[in-house]
Amino acid sequence: MNTHKRIRDYNITIGSLKPGKLNAISDVAGVRIGHLTSSDGPIQTGVTAVIPSDENLFENKLLAGVHVFNGFGKSTGLIQIEELGTLETPIILTNTLSVGTAYDALVRHMLKDNPTIGGKYGTVNPVICECNDGYLNDIRGLHVKHEDIYSAIEKADTTFAEGAVGAGRGMSCFQLKGGIGTSSRLIQIGDETYVLGSLVLSNFGRKDNFVINGQTIGKSIASQAKQEEKGSIIMIIATDLPLSVNELKRIARRSSIGLSRVGGYMGNGSGEIAIAFSTANTYPLRPNDPFMTIKSLHQNHIDKVFQAVGESIEESVLNSMIASDEVTGHKGHYRDSLKNWIHLVK
Amino acid sequence: MNTHKRIRDYNITIGSLKPGKLNAISDVAGVRIGHLTSSDGPIQTGVTAVIPSDENLFENKLLAGVHVFNGFGKSTGLIQIEELGTLETPIILTNTLSVGTAYDALVRHMLKDNPTIGGKYGTVNPVICECNDGYLNDIRGLHVKHEDIYSAIEKADTTFAEGAVGAGRGMSCFQLKGGIGTSSRLIQIGDETYVLGSLVLSNFGRKDNFVINGQTIGKSIASQAKQEEKGSIIMIIATDLPLSVNELKRIARRSSIGLSRVGGYMGNGSGEIAIAFSTANTYPLRPNDPFMTIKSLHQNHIDKVFQAVGESIEESVLNSMIASDEVTGHKGHYRDSLKNWIHLVK
Amino acid sequence: MNTHKRIRDYNITIGSLKPGKLNAISDVAGVRIGHLTSSDGPIQTGVTAVIPSDENLFENKLLAGVHVFNGFGKSTGLIQIEELGTLETPIILTNTLSVGTAYDALVRHMLKDNPTIGGKYGTVNPVICECNDGYLNDIRGLHVKHEDIYSAIEKADTTFAEGAVGAGRGMSCFQLKGGIGTSSRLIQIGDETYVLGSLVLSNFGRKDNFVINGQTIGKSIASQAKQEEKGSIIMIIATDLPLSVNELKRIARRSSIGLSRVGGYMGNGSGEIAIAFSTANTYPLRPNDPFMTIKSLHQNHIDKVFQAVGESIEESVLNSMIASDEVTGHKGHYRDSLKNWIHLVK
Amino acid sequence: MNTHKRIRDYNITIGSLKPGKLNAISDVAGVRIGHLTSSDGPIQTGVTAVIPSDENLFENKLLAGVHVFNGFGKSTGLIQIEELGTLETPIILTNTLSVGTAYDALVRHMLKDNPTIGGKYGTVNPVICECNDGYLNDIRGLHVKHEDIYSAIEKADTTFAEGAVGAGRGMSCFQLKGGIGTSSRLIQIGDETYVLGSLVLSNFGRKDNFVINGQTIGKSIASQAKQEEKGSIIMIIATDLPLSVNELKRIARRSSIGLSRVGGYMGNGSGEIAIAFSTANTYPLRPNDPFMTIKSLHQNHIDKVFQAVGESIEESVLNSMIASDEVTGHKGHYRDSLKNWIHLVK
């Protein structure tokens, strides 16, 4: 998977719950991640595809919930998830100005596999999430192409890179290099063990606020020019725990806990969005029976899940940073790597 | 403007408030509408552009509010309007699967006029709204092109066609032909007269529920096959009344009144979305002063505005139908025109 | 039940679905309604209790959803229903300034039956809904007493009066006498028949907007002084259909359809609130198993339920008016009865 | 004011902004706080009144915004603040089961000063917030009386006690003693200095998660039995900065940042609610003019305000704990004081 060291490799352990086997969102069976990275001088951008299940998602939708902490963002598809509580496409991450291209490419990808779309069963709800990578990337150049989206989808695997890859290529976090990070947590309910994983696209935060595991490390980092918090973060949460739509919304909302613990301030210009889905129930396009049976967790037990979300998001953000090398891009803009400063952690 | 007769031309008067000079959304100074229509056998689709002001919108944003009645829809840009209360691009209407193309084209249009986008002042929030025209249009063919969006923007004028034009080309309403409709209402506050106008993209409703001015006419209409309510409606409301963001949200929500009066049922698959904006205040990208002064209506007087919204939306829906000719399109699907049944109104 | 005639007794049939046996919310097994009416000169007020099930509700909660159309209202308990999707107390309706007394009385009622409240299982979420009866009732006199709430709960039955009774005693609707109304609709799903019922506390609307079954009757009604729309409506929807929390929210939202059809305009000062609950699943306080199984309707079939809500609310409002006699109250204020004008309906 | 030491007296400085003169919510001119404390064996409860301005609030409403992080709570009045964006009464804090009494007492208090209530100008929207003090207090005993609310209002002053007083008497925070805490921050905009203050009623958190200024101190605290996070927190934010309703909502939402920094996890049973108001604009009940002019901050400058909220809430929570002595109450339940553990902070 990663050739880069991850935050645990530096003996930094976030929270008290155990991670899954890969310590990645792909610990949830069926979830795969693919990247397409574009890195060429001023072009520092890309695409990351989150494939939520091995099945035809349009035919076998998953239950999902969304939370928008700060709606300074351009993601698509969230309104329908909020209304219906279902996810019916892969989730594509890319830069803000390429959302249209990604939407169009995802439509074409879905049409190819689903002759029913556009007919009796209506259209399809493409979910595209974005952050603004305009500091390192020539975002006005609109360098993401249709093939990049197809390619990210095709490459999707349970093992995948973190850091300055895919949609994360041009992103910044706490004025250091940010990007793609992941982690997971095991949740014990009765005799059964479930897993919850998260993947973030990190592009937010001011250096001075940066916290690692409770230590305010930001002010000790010498490098970097000052900058407004104008970024964003996309947080994707997957689990094999049976959860209702209402519970998935509540879980999405708890991702803010992990975010605050690393020093997130929800700045005015920082779009912060979380999508949570469960693979435990499917919602068929063409049901045999008018009634469905949804298995879900009684809310007396949900605090464990909230804790898992907080821990997983916190570790995912740190992984997105520690796995990133330095990047120089558009107009010679430069982002240092957390690797160069991690020794400051006591 | 229209060569087609409008609902008032049949002596049907909706509500008690007077319309503006054009009885159109373009009675609000600065608002212009442009269409690009594609009609060729199975291709029955198009683009409608709503230009909210004559100024550079990205530099001089307008206050805006949104209401989502039923989020079974794929419109983009609504989350940021909800968060910030500002509108910074034209609003593009098109078919559901062409949202990506429209988003990309609107990004390119905005980049051309605004060198600041993508730099210090962040990205841009393109607002694209859609309905599913898959009954009359070969929607899977993805026939909307970038040039169609540019063309609709360029053609925008204060006089414009209604009915089976622009984004409305392939739309259906109460199983008759729907599409683009508009109307306006004058609002007297003290000694001043203000105007509120609306434009709808109508694509909803079952024939049996159709009501004209309180008369349940739908069941008397002989034509048309049965069909589920799987449509949508987009409602754009403009006014020169000074209103706060909170008031614009409340006004957007009142559009449901007009909708219910024509027989709308907010069906499961019917995405119903309203966007309201006021041209009376501008929100500058680069303010001279950290503080702003927003003029708004005291809510003791807002009931008049609610009434105007209800009446204007009701009349806009009827105009969208009565101005439409019959259309035969994709797979030979056919929609009759309300013109052929309007004589049933007593 | 009623000694008063109901709207169907005048050969006015709303919609196309059949009502249940009682044409009342109590057609849903387990649902009972009780009134306490206070009528004495300037005192024209009261309490209505909605008992959602025969079981201990705190131990066996029901799934519920809420929709607030216009939040100009003081109801309590809605935030927790929105968060958790459960209803754990009866719903008490009364006048606005008596909400505190009703809250306190409902707390005392719940404490009596539930020794667990206040201990390990937390507190209780009392649901109190209200309208302002200050036109007919000396609302500043705070005439509702604790005993009135206990009494309404005790009297609850499957047969109950409509009109100027209970919380509806002092309410006005379209400047005529409003109050308590109910109705129900049968919903056929496969081989099974389910029932959905509603109960409204009607206190809204301007005479000129009043519509009966598509006929704008309001302007033909000679009586009544002019008045701002400063009322409210509370709409309680019950069903034995298995529905998820998300579906119950969507159903609550559709009550606006019935409201619009009688001429509701959602005025600035009119708090409009709907609560929907299903008796088909229970959510135990102390579950045996950490997981639950919730039966719900596939949304492909939900349009039938939306239609039932719209029809039932429309008929409930009309029943609330037609079952009311004239009332003279506080300061000699007078409300005429719809009975005196129903002959105008053609 | 306090005879107790505050967190700054231990050389613990939260954030980088300077506090106001009192380092309290009452640094905002016009804001006063009053407590009524009931402490007698198993009775450990009380009332805290927040008086937002020196003027008649019903006649001169303030702009306000609300955010509900976790709606497991029974506060009243929030729905109307959300709809209208105005605050028209003092805010009363008390225990969960006494909300009805507080509502009724606040109604009576408002009626006394406002003969218009209940007539032409409608009713009044009492804002009551609550936490569950059932661990230390015999909450089932319903010991809060009407006089306690009147008394808290009468005692309101710019100097006031923190810790185990007023509504905070029986509250617990991180399994130590919680209660009432306050602090403030100065915000420089151009040449002017504004102040933002907060007051919290803290009753949440598990010991192991407790963080002081980035140091995870909770696990080093030896005392206290284990307990589920079943509490709540009420956060009141006041400022003299001119802000719009939309901005006040966004500011209320940022209180979660301070909460997360002390170790809050938004547990299932933890109702977390923030109300923010500004004293800079008033919204008159009876306006002379149909139009109003609202001064507000351009959002380019709002990040400073977000930072102030985060810092102020964090310090308010710590003050609520450090100012509390140990309390033994209902059933001999005991809460230790942070004072006994503050030496652990390095």
User: Which segments of B6-162 does DSSP mark as H helices, in order?
Assistant: 78-84, 99-113, 146-154
pLDDT band at A222 (very low <50, low <70, confident <90, very high): confident
D65 pLDDT above the threshold of 70: yes
| Cβ <8 Å between B291 and D189 | yes
Confidence of residue C157 (pLDDT cuts 50, 70, 90): very high
Q: Which residue has the tokens 């973190």?
A: A162
Report yes or no: B299 at the D interface, CB cutoff 8 Å: yes
pLDDT band at B2 (very low <50, low <70, confident <90, very high): low
Q: How far apart are CA C11 and CA D112, in angstroms?
A: 50
pLDDT(A295) > 90 = yes
Amino acid at C312: S
> Taking Cα atoms as reference points, which of C140, C219, C139, C229 lies closest to residue C178?
C229
Q: Which amino acid is present at C40?
A: D
From C246, C294, C300, residue closest to A287, measured CB to CB = C300
**Strands B32-40 vs A271-284: parallel, antiparallel or unpaired:** unpaired
pLDDT above 80 for B137 = yes
Integer Cα distance of C115 and C125 in angstroms: 15
**Which residues does chain C have within 8 Å of residue D122's beta carbon, measured at their own beta carbons?**
132, 134, 230, 269
Crossing angle for the helix pair C99-113 and D99-113, to the nearest 10 degrees: 160
| H helix runs in chain B, sequence order | 78-84, 99-113, 146-154, 245-262, 303-322
The torsion angles phi and psi of B277, rounded to 5 degrees, stand at -135, 155
pLDDT score recorded for residue B227: 58
Q: Which of C250, C287, C297 sits opposite A291 (nearest CB)?
A: C297
- pLDDT reported for residue C206: 87
- Expressed in angstroms, the distance from the first to the final Cα of chain B is 28
Give DSSP secondary structure letters for C51-107.
E--SS-TTTEEEEEEEEEEE-----BSHHHHHHH-EE-S-EEEEEGGGHHHHHHHHH
Contact A144, A94 (CB under 8 A): yes
d(CA B18, CA B13): 10
* Residue numbers of D between 187 and 246 with CB closer than 8 Å to A: 211, 214-216, 228-229
Residue type, B241: L
> Is position C26 annotated as part of the catalytic site?
no
C299–chain A Cβ distance below 8 A for any pair:
yes
Among candidates B83, B105, B271 on the partner chain, residue whose Cβ is nearest the Cβ of A71: B83
State the CB neighbour count (10 A cutoff) for residue C107: 25
pLDDT of residue D260: 84
Task: Write the pLDDT tens digit of every residue in D122-159.
Answer: 899 999 999 999 999 999 999 999 999 999 999 999 99
- Among A97, A127, A139, the strongest candidate for a mutation testing the B interface, having the largest count of B CBs within 10 A, is A97
Crossing angle between the packed helical segments D99-113 and D146-154, to the nearest 10 degrees: 60
D73 touches chain C (CB under 8 A): yes
* Beta pairing class for D271-284 and D232-239: parallel
- In tens, the pLDDT along C179-209 reads 999 999 999 999 999 999 999 999 999 898 8
How many C-D residue pairs are in contact by the CB < 8 A criterion? 121
CB contact under 8 A, B123 and A74: yes
| 8-state DSSP, C217 | -
Using an 8 Å Cβ cutoff, are C344 and C219 in contact?
Answer: no
Nearest CA in chain B to D243: B291
Q: Do D260 and A265 touch (CB under 8 A)?
A: no
Whole-prediction pTM value?
0.95
Pairing of strands C86-87, C291-297: unpaired
Residue-level pLDDT at A138: 97
Cβ-based contacts of B307 with chain C (< 8 Å): 265
The neighbours of chain A, by the rule of 3 or more Cβ pairs under 8 Å, are B, C, D
Q: Output the pLDDT for position C230.
A: 66
- Average pLDDT of the segment spanning A319-332: 97
Q: What's the CA gap between A2 and A25, in Å, rounded?
A: 14
Residues of A in contact with B76 (CB under 8 A): 74, 76, 99, 103
pLDDT of A2 above 80: no
Total residue length of chain D:
346
Contact C79 D75 (CB under 8 A): yes
Name which residue leads in pLDDT, D108 or A121: D108
Q: Which residues of D touch C144 (CB under 8 A)?
A: none
Which residues touch D268 (CB under 8 Å, ≥6 apart)? A250, A299, A300, A302, A303, A306, D70, D72, D229
Residue numbers in D near B187 (CB within 8 A): none
Q: Is B261 on the interface with C (CB under 8 A)?
A: yes
Distance CA(C74)–CA(C127), nearest Å, equals 11
Contact A126 B77 (CB under 8 A): no
Chain A: give the shortest CA distance to residue D220, in Å.
15
**Mutation site, C120, C298, C301, C303, interface A, largest A CB count within 10 A:** C298
Among the partner residues D78, D100, D125, nearest to C104 by beta-carbon distance: D100
The pLDDT of residue A1 is above 70: no
* B292·D298 Cβ contact <8 A: yes
Q: How far is CA A10 from CA A16, A179, A214, in A?
A: 16, 19, 15
Provide the shortest C-alpha distance from residue C134 to chain D (in Å).
6
Q: Report the relative pairing of strands B327-328 and D271-284 from DSSP bridges.
A: unpaired
Angular region, B102: left φ>0, alpha ψ -120 to 50, beta rest: alpha
SS3 category, B68: strand
Distance, CA of D98 to CA of C100 (rounded, Å): 9
Instruction: Flag whether pLDDT at D223 surpasses 70.
Output: no
Nearest to B7 by CA among B328, B188, B326, B262: B262
Question: A46 near A148, Cβ under 8 Å?
Answer: yes
More confidently predicted of A324 and D225: A324
Query: For residue B259, which residues of chain C lie inside 8 Å, CB to CB?
Result: 260
D151 in C contact zone (CB under 8 Å): no
Q: What is the pLDDT of residue B208?
A: 86
Single out the catalytic residue among C270, C312, C320, C324. Answer: C270
Give the gap in angstroms from C-alpha B179 to the nearest C-alpha of chain A: 18
Average model confidence (pLDDT) for chain A?
Answer: 94
Which has the minimum average pLDDT: A328-332, C271-275, D328-332?
C271-275
Interface check for A261 against chain D (CB to CB < 8 A): the answer is yes
- Least CA distance to D254: which residue of chain A? A266
B257 with C253: Cβ contact below 8 A: no
A290 touching C (Cβ < 8 Å): yes
Stretch C221-226: mean pLDDT, rounded?
66
**Residues of D recognised as catalytic:** 232, 270, 272
What's the token pair of residue A128? Answer: 């595209």
Known catalytic membership, residue C272: yes
Q: Which residues of B are catalytic?
A: 232, 270, 272
Which residues of chain D are within 8 Å of residue B83 when distances are taken between CB atoms?
250
- What distance in Å separates the CA atoms of residue A186 and residue A189, rounded to the nearest whole number? 10
Report the distance separating Cα C22 and Cα D320, nearest Å: 56
C262-281 confidence digits (pLDDT tens): 988 777 767 789 999 999 99
Q: Which residues of A touch D303 (CB under 8 A)?
A: 228-229, 265, 267-268
Task: Provide φ and ψ at B137, rounded to 5°.
Answer: -115, 145
Cβ contact C77:D73 at 8 Å = no
Give the residue among A42, A9, A279, A341 at the shortest CA–CA distance from A162.
Answer: A9
Answer positive or negative: Cα dihedral of B126, A316, D314, A218.
negative
pLDDT tens column, B139-197? 999 999 999 999 999 999 999 999 999 999 999 999 999 999 999 999 999 999 999 99
User: Across the interface, do A257 and D267 touch by the CB < 8 Å criterion?
Assistant: no
CA-CA distance, A125 to B72, in Å (whole number)?
Answer: 9
User: What does residue B197 show for φ and ψ, rounded to 5 degrees?
Assistant: -125, 160
Cβ atoms A97, A103 nearer than 8 A: no
**Which positions ≥6 away from B153 have C-beta within 8 Å?**
B34, B49, B51, B90, B109
